[in-house]
Structure 1
Amino acid sequence: NGVRVRGSYREIAEFVFRGQLGGQVVNAAAITEALMTCILYLVLCGDLLYFCFPGAGLSKTFWVSVSFVCLLPCAALTSLRHVSLISFWNTVTHVIINGIIIVYCLTRTADWQPAKVQFHIDIYTFPISLGIIVFSYTSHIFLPTLEGSLIDKRRFACMMNWTHLLSAIFKALFGYIGFVTFADSTKEEITNNLTNVPLRVSVNIALALKALFSYPLPYFAAANFLENSLFTGRPLPSCWNEKREFKCWAVLPRALLVLFTFVVAITVPHFALLCGLIGSFTGTMLSFVWPAYFHLVLKRHASPLYTRLFDAFIIAVGVLCGSVGMFISGYALHAKMTGKQQANSSIPFAYTRA
């Protein structure tokens, strides 16, 4: 068995880049990824609740604000055990919603439009789609820690292969079934396509709750990344003292972090485009460029030539796709925010990050 010498993504980056600067850059990308995930959950809550009550005369900003108030207590989270409990209910809700949507689509098989599925690349939408896909798989920042926590580390590769394979199959089938059911009218959040109003409202509320349950995990990760980066050896004090009394001053920095995600969410309220932009930026770096580069550097003497060439190929593809995706997503987002582009139904739908 090998000897474990580096236990985190940051430690690997510091070794490869020969200094703490490399670790800080990777940490900055991880913090950005986690915070952007939090922002997306707020945007998603606003969209879903707005379409639940379209005749109420309340804006998306109002519903995002309601979600923000519900999430403020996250600033007091200091235990991963509490985050895990919340994430458990997030998983339960996720499974239920998936089942409801798939069953609904299967009941409308007579209306399916498989001819609408076209296998070609549209330069204006493919980079955004790719960014969304990459964003939904960005877990590399946590993998060294996860591998280190396993009892039998030899099964890590098997676990990674099967979980990613099954996830890819499910997402492909889910996307196909959803698109052939609603075709060109598919919305960014597919639950808004449900024609049965009581069902749509119920599912949207459940999905909004799922988004709220999903928020604490990336928020907790972002807070910990920031504390480890800025207060190494001097972590921020706990929000609770030894008598389990709440210390308001200790939670202020964490509350400001929640406030930051809220401000960005109401400033850039476009779920799919924001998701594509984030995936193209931090997602390609965390999932393609850096892992391949780290492997190339760490294993350059032990890897055969074809493996090193494959690493170089992944790096090149990651840089190319990420650059094009950032440009296209950024341009589309700017056009949406300045009112120069109407809602584009060809933008791929997304209802949650798995």
Structure 2
Amino acid sequence: MAESSRLVAAPPAATAAAAPKVRSDGEGGDGTSTDTIMNIVNIAFGAGMLGLPYAIQGSGLVSGTFGLGIVLLWNFFCCSLLVKLRKEVLIARAEAEKGTSLSADLGTPVSFAAIGSYAMGSVGTILVYISVVVTLLGAATAYFINANELLRATHFYLNPGWSEETAMYVNTFIYMCLMYPLTCIKSLAPLSRLSLPAIVALVAGFAVIIKLGLEMYGWPPMEEVLSWDALYIPQTFDGFSTFFGVAAFSYGATIIIPEIQESMANTEEFIGALKTSLWIIWSSYSVLGGVALLIFQQDGPVSDNIMSQLPSDSLAQEPLLLFITMATLFTYPLAMQPVSSIFEQALIKAGFGQASARVGGDDQRYGALTAAETGTDPRSPKEEDGESHSSGELSPALRYGLRAALVLFTGVCATIVPNFGVVITLLGSFSVTLGSFVLPPLFHRVVFGERLSSAEKTADEVLCFVGAVTCVFTTTTTALGVLRGE
């Protein structure tokens, strides 16, 4: 199919004249490389880190450590494909601007959904939305579940004699009230200021729990470590599925990589920032997760949330659990930003938007109208009537009301869904794997087509196939385990 067939219909002359220039790869938001590293690391550390000892227990310590490295390389490769795809969309927009058929989405940021639409039309958009919405709403729900699990044993958990169910509802509502204002922040860059203390709190929390574990159990004798049955390989299919699900979830920033890159002042620095953040994540996961597992497995299987194994009589328990809870909750707005934008664009498409001359300004960095969001198929021919899809933005009241509704939804889900470990395993196995490991090579293969070498074509096809098989297998295995009550 010719490249020109990917372009959307031309807008009226007035709209075309007012459309801003397409952003180059040297232009972005106001975030620095350090901001980007902090955001990616905090997204990963936010919840996945707490389940890592539990996940590595299912895979075997040695194979789990190498497995985390394999998932890292797989993740980096797929992120790199998304960076290439983002640039391809920008090039197509620039070519459209020079031609006679201008696009209504020129100058707007390139979202994952826009990449999916450019590659596969409405099918690509739907696949992206399934992955992004399920993953991020699920992750946000997991943060509330984690807060309830950790704070329940402390004085920070409000319960003046209520039933356990009532206390859970009240405390979840408190978390919702704390998080809602942060979900209304328009750019991810300022949230990186919260990322550093959150990361420090999580790493410090692991250090404390390792210290307390050594005081209680000591370091396991070397002969016991080397003879440990689960040291090298997964013992069951369930164990492998748990490991992969948590590992995939722990590297789950892939699905919002385009948004994170858009937040940078110089997007050319993104790959370097991504490499640094992934190596920080892998080394931290391997060392902290592995050491915690070796220590606490002496007392039996480790919990799906390692922080729940803190001794109740420890002086460090209450402040540590509070800091860990706040650290994970600070990741909540990072997860909610892209989801909010998706639903905002759906409302705009439905006619709830108000006219705006600003297309692609800072206020729409994560929700600017593109062919994907407006429902325009980028492969469709020019519309005969010459009219474009209307653009605009939601009124402040509707915008903030929508975000309040999404926060309420995650809060309600947190009171009825299964435990923390099951949630992140299912999310990692299904929606994260779909968005992180299946769609990027699929879109790359479709968009670049015959421009790829034989080796590149094979790599895309193999990775897409392996990702799809892994997604189906691990999701099915985990779901069957839940149904069996395991």
Whether these two folds match at TM > 0.5 is: yes
Aligned to 2:149: 47
The question of whether the paired residues in 1 share the 8 Å contact of 2:249 and 2:432 is answered with yes
Deviation sequence 1:96-146 (CA, Å, 0-9, x none): 324333444566783325243422222022112201110111112222233
134, 145, 166: which one aligns with 1:32: 134
Describe how 1:256-295 pairs up with structure 2 within 5 A.
Answer: 256-295=405-444
The question of whether the paired residues in 2 share the 8 Å contact of 1:39 and 1:265 is answered with yes
Give the 3-state SS of the residue equivalent to 2:396 in structure 1: coil
> Match for 2:208: what amino acid?
I
Please give the alpha-carbon distance, in whole angstroms, between the structure 1 residues aligned to 2:172 and 2:291. 30
Please give the alpha-carbon distance, in whole angstroms, between the structure 2 residues aligned to 1:327 and 1:250. 37
Please give the alpha-carbon distance, in whole angstroms, between the structure 2 residues aligned to 1:64 and 1:218. 22
Deviation sequence 1:26-54 (CA, Å, 0-9, x none): 12321221110110001111111224479
Give the 3-state SS of the residue equivalent to 2:238 in structure 1: coil
Please give the alpha-carbon distance, in whole angstroms, between the structure 2 residues aligned to 1:221 and 1:60. 31
> Match for 1:78: what amino acid?
C
Q: Say whether 1:213 aligns with 2:322.
A: no
Aligned to 1:97: 205
Aligned to 1:169: 283
Q: 1:40–1:61: structure 2 CA closer, same or farther, 3 Å change rule?
A: farther
Q: 1:148–1:73: structure 2 CA closer, same or farther, 3 Å change rule?
A: closer
Aligned to 1:79: 185
Please give the alpha-carbon distance, in whole angstroms, between the structure 2 residues aligned to 1:234 and 1:133. 39
Please give the alpha-carbon distance, in whole angstroms, between the structure 2 residues aligned to 1:225 and 1:28. 11
The question of whether the paired residues in 2 share the 8 Å contact of 1:49 and 1:63 is answered with no
Q: Say whether 1:62 aligns with 2:167.
A: yes
**What is the CA distance between 1:313 and its match in structure 2?**
1.6
Q: 1:105–1:64: structure 2 CA closer, same or farther, 3 Å change rule?
A: farther
Please give the alpha-carbon distance, in whole angstroms, between the structure 2 residues aligned to 1:148 and 1:5. 13
CA RMSD of aligned residues (A): 2.9
The question of whether the paired residues in 1 share the 8 Å contact of 2:140 and 2:332 is answered with yes
Structure 2, unaligned runs of 5 or more? 1-24, 26-83, 91-109, 350-390
Describe how 1:322-341 pairs up with structure 2 within 5 A.
Answer: 322-336=471-485, 341=486
Deviation sequence 1:182-229 (CA, Å, 0-9, x none): 113311111222235322233222212223222222123321221123
The question of whether the paired residues in 2 share the 8 Å contact of 1:127 and 1:325 is answered with yes
Aligned to 1:145: 259
> Match for 2:448: what amino acid?
K
Q: Say whether 1:306 aligns with 2:390.
A: no
The question of whether the paired residues in 2 share the 8 Å contact of 1:191 and 1:204 is answered with yes
Higher mean alpha-carbon deviation, 316-325 vs 89-98, is at: 89-98
Structure 1, unaligned runs of 5 or more? 240-248, 342-354
The question of whether the paired residues in 1 share the 8 Å contact of 2:296 and 2:302 is answered with yes
> Match for 1:14: what amino acid?
S
380, 396, 399: which one aligns with 1:238: 396
Q: 1:250–1:143: structure 2 CA closer, same or farther, 3 Å change rule?
A: closer
Higher mean alpha-carbon deviation, 201-210 vs 275-284, is at: 201-210
Please give the alpha-carbon distance, in whole angstroms, between the structure 1 residues aligned to 2:88 and 2:273. 19
The question of whether the paired residues in 2 share the 8 Å contact of 1:191 and 1:200 is answered with no
The question of whether the paired residues in 2 share the 8 Å contact of 1:52 and 1:201 is answered with yes
239, 250, 253: which one aligns with 2:402: 253
The question of whether the paired residues in 2 share the 8 Å contact of 1:280 and 1:322 is answered with yes
Aligned to 2:72: none
The question of whether the paired residues in 2 share the 8 Å contact of 1:34 and 1:218 is answered with yes
Higher mean alpha-carbon deviation, 266-275 vs 35-44, is at: 266-275
**What is the CA distance between 1:21 and its match in structure 2?**
4.2
Please give the alpha-carbon distance, in whole angstroms, between the structure 2 residues aligned to 1:193 and 1:90. 20
> Match for 1:279: what amino acid?
G
Tell which structure's C-alpha radius of gyration is larger: 2
The question of whether the paired residues in 2 share the 8 Å contact of 1:42 and 1:265 is answered with yes
Q: 1:107–1:128: structure 2 CA closer, same or farther, 3 Å change rule?
A: same
Q: Say whether 1:126 aligns with 2:210.
A: no
Query: TM-score if structure 1 supplies the norm length?
Result: 0.81
**What is the CA distance between 1:230 and its match in structure 2?**
3.1
**What is the CA distance between 1:57 and its match in structure 2?**
8.0
Please give the alpha-carbon distance, in whole angstroms, between the structure 1 residues aligned to 2:232 and 2:415. 35
Give the 3-state SS of the residue equivalent to 2:252 in structure 1: coil
Deviation sequence 1:213-263 (CA, Å, 0-9, x none): 222221233212211233243433224xxxxxxxxx764332221221122
**What is the CA distance between 1:295 and its match in structure 2?**
1.7
> Match for 2:168: what amino acid?
W
Give the 3-state SS of the residue equivalent to 2:450 in structure 1: coil
